[in-house]
Each structure stands twice: as C-alpha cells, then as structure tokens.
C-alpha cells in the first residue's frame, strides 16, 4: 500500500517544536551548570592538598 503525502501536513506542530526546543535548552543548561559547579566547587570544602616526600640514601659501596 502506497502512503499518500499531502503538502498541507507538517511533521511536527509549531507548539510541540517550541516545547521540545525549550526542554532541550533547559536540559543542556542543567548539564552545563553541573559540570561547571563541579569544576569550580567550594575552595573551603573538600580535600586538603597533600605532599609526599621520599628520601633516598646513597649506599657506601656505590650501588
């Protein structure tokens, strides 16, 4: 059976297209906010910087 396509039919109504664009924009903004807030963070909270020191002693026989 062959489908008949009329020129007056639209794929998506303008209202649904607008709702989809707003929803996609909100989701992208939320993802961007989470990524940026995770990178910046709160400098007072979280882990403190640590330093690890190792001392090597030279052996008497030159090894």
User: What's the pLDDT score for residue 20?
Assistant: 95
Residue 63 has pLDDT above 60, yes or no: no
Domain ranges of the chain: 14-61
User: What's the pLDDT score for residue 62?
Assistant: 58
Question: What would the pLDDT profile of 8-34 be if each residue is shown by its tens digit?
Answer: 666 778 889 899 999 999 999 999 998
Please state the pTM of the whole predicted model. 0.48
User: What's the pLDDT score for residue 46?
Assistant: 60
Beta strands in the chain (DSSP E): none
Rounded to whole angstroms, the Cα distance separating 20 from 50 reads 47
Question: What would the pLDDT profile of 32-51 be if each residue is shown by its tens digit?
Answer: 998 888 777 665 656 677 88
């Amino acid at each position: 059976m062959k489908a008949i396509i009329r020129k007056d039919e639209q794929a998506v109504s303008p209202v649904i297209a607008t709702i989809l664009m707003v929803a996609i924009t909100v989701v992208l903004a939320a993802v961007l906010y989470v990524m940026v807030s995770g990178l910046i963070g709160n400098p007072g909270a979280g882990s403190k910087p640590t330093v690890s020191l190792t001392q090597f002693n030279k052996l008497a026989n030159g090894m």
